[in-house]
Amino acid sequence: MMPLALDIAIAAVALAMLLCAFRLFRGPEVTDRLLALDTLYINVVALVVLLGIRQQTELLFEAALIVAMLGFVSTVALARYLTRGDVIE
Amino acid sequence: MDTLHPLVEALISLMLLIGALFMLVGAIGLVRFGDFFMRLHAPTKATTLGVGGVLIAAMVHSWAGGRFGVPELLITLFLFITAPVSANLMAKAALHLKVPSKAGRPAGIDDGAQTQDKQG
Amino acid sequence: MATGTIQPKRWLAHPFMSAIIAASWLLLQQSLAVPQLITATVLALVLPRVLAGFLGPQVKVSSWATVVRFAGIVLWDIVVSNITVAKIVLNPAREPQPAWVPVPLDLRHPNGIALLATVITTTPGTVSCVIDEDRHEILVHALDCSDPAAMAQDIKNRYERPLREIFE
């Protein structure tokens, strides 16, 4: 039962990532693309965690933690760049 | 891990499906809604119940395997703390760039950069 | 370790934060070996001191019962409003009515205001966009809202009142 649920979940998250990619390419505003990137990295965190359950390894969870941290920092940096034209004065 | 108790397995499967469903709903909202500020609601949903459900499943799975599930817990906490911050920053960026909103432009916001400057 | 009482920067000014830092380091390493204990102690002592300028004064929580009740309310609201928003998203016939909701604040503690903004964003359907500390107002964007005044009152009753009990 659990392998089936895992497969369904991975498929659903992959579909969600495709939808985010659609919004990423479509725009129309630059903030929409930023928002799509933000959602995309959250989806990647979920996908890596799902793969970690599937492959029975603890290592991928720590990879997901790093993805989460890098994603947050890049979203903040891009949002600041859009607001002020500068990341660090 | 060899075999899990059927009830534990059912719980993990349920949480996985709930989490995946909400991630998908968040992405559908991102594509479907008409303006930026409405789309902004999508990632906050995806993180709260979506990632929350997937990570609860991962944690239960770890406990059932005799491990503690610490990285999962830290990811959950991290995402719960950071998602509102990034949503707020993106909203400020959008207000500053005067991104059109269906709800009209909020009263009293002349320049998003000024409010930003006080905190930065 | 504390060399004097008049020092502006004190060691262990945030004992709760130090404990959290040490605990999460040890949990990440999943070991209680001596080198890890030493690293955890050093991190717990140094990080809050280095970050002292960003942290502000220590928060004194007046009522832990309210904290627990508030956490319960927020978790429950996250689940309920997630389902509400999912219904809006998945129903193609339903066109939501977005609105800007200015929420006037009585809460004055900066950490309390930050927590209130976080809670508003975490419960789906509302995102706090601008926190105006001069006019004491949070500008909230609501996904589906026909009565902004009622929603502002609802946020004040449901989240701000317990936060005032906790922080003031």
| Cα–Cα dist A33/A9, whole Å | 25
Higher-pLDDT residue of A25, B104: A25
What pLDDT is stored for residue A15 in this prediction? 92
What is the pLDDT confidence band of residue C4, given thresholds at 50, 70 and 90? very low
The whole-number average pLDDT for the span B89-105 is 78
pLDDT in tens, C9-39: 666 667 777 888 888 888 777 777 888 888 8
Q: Cα separation of C78 and C157, whole Å?
A: 17
CB A72 within 8 A of CB B82: yes
Report the alpha-carbon distance of residue B40 to residue B103 in Å, rounded: 14
Distance of residue C25 Cα from the nearest chain B Cα, in angstroms: 10
Query: For residue B93, what are the contacts with CB-CB under 8 A and spacing of at least 6?
Result: A31, A34, A79, A80, A82, A83, B112
Chains B, C: CB contacts within 8 A come to 107
Other C-beta atoms lying within 10 Å of the C-beta of residue C4: 6
Q: In sequence order, what are the residues at sequence separation of 6 or more whose Cβ sits closer than 8 angstroms to the Cβ of residue C42? A: none
Q: Tell me which of C168 and C33 has the higher pLDDT.
A: C33
Q: How far is CA A23 from CA A87, B24, B99, in A?
A: 25, 14, 16
State the pLDDT at residue C123.
Answer: 78
Q: Between C105 and C57, name the one with better pLDDT.
A: C105
Burial class (CB in 10 A: 0-12, 13-18, 19+), C132: middle
Instruction: Report the pLDDT value the prediction gives residue C10, as an integer from 0 to 100.
Output: 65
The whole-angstrom separation of Cα C123 and Cα C99 is 16
Residues of chain B neighbouring C122 (CB-CB closer than 8 A): 44, 48, 80, 83-84
Residue C124: which of C96, C147, C102 has the closest Cα? C96
- Residue B113 predicted with pLDDT over 70: no
| Residue C79, pLDDT score | 84
State whether ipTM is beyond 0.85.
no
Q: How far apart are CA C148 and CA C161, in angstroms?
A: 19
Closest CA to B44 of C167, C77, C8: C77
Round to whole Å and give the CA distance between A87 and A83: 9
Q: What is the pLDDT of residue C84?
A: 82
* CB-based contacts of A64, cutoff 8 Å, min separation 6: A45, A48, A49, A52, B71, B75
| Contact by Cβ (8 Å): A20, A36 | yes
Domain ranges of chain C: 15-55, 64-167
Q: What pLDDT band is residue B108 in, cutting at 50, 70 and 90?
A: low
C48 contact partners, CB below 8 Å, separation of at least 6: C12, C13, C14, C17, C18, C21, C55
Neighbours of chain C (3+ CB pairs under 8 A): B
Do the chains contact at C82 and B45, CB–CB below 8 Å? Answer: yes
C111-149 residue pLDDT tens: 778 888 888 888 777 888 777 777 777 888 887 777 777
Report chain C's terminal Cα–Cα distance, integer Å: 32
Over 80: is that where the pLDDT of C72 sits?
Answer: yes
Q: Which residues of C touch B115 (CB under 8 A)?
A: 130-132
**Residue C93 has what pLDDT?**
77
Average pLDDT, chain B: 77
pLDDT of C35 reads: 83
pLDDT computed for residue C7 by the predictor: 43
> Does pLDDT of C46 surpass 70?
yes
CATH architecture entry for B6-119: Orthogonal Bundle (1.10)
More confidently predicted of C99 and A18: A18
Please report the pLDDT score of residue C52 as a whole number: 72
Q: Do C73 and C155 meet the contact criterion of CB atoms below 8 Å apart?
A: no
Confidence of residue C103 (pLDDT cuts 50, 70, 90): confident
Query: Which chains share 3+ C-beta pairs under 8 angstroms with B?
Result: A, C
pLDDT at B120: 35
> Would you state the pLDDT for residue C2?
41
User: Is the model's pLDDT at A76 over the cut of 60?
Assistant: yes
CA distance A80 to A87: 6
Q: What tens digit of pLDDT does each residue of C76-98 get?
A: 888 888 888 888 888 877 777 88
pLDDT for the residue C6: 41
Strand order in the sheet with C137-142: C99-104, C137-142, C126-132
User: Do residues B116 and B92 lie in contact, with contact meaning Cβ atoms separated by under 8 Å?
Assistant: yes
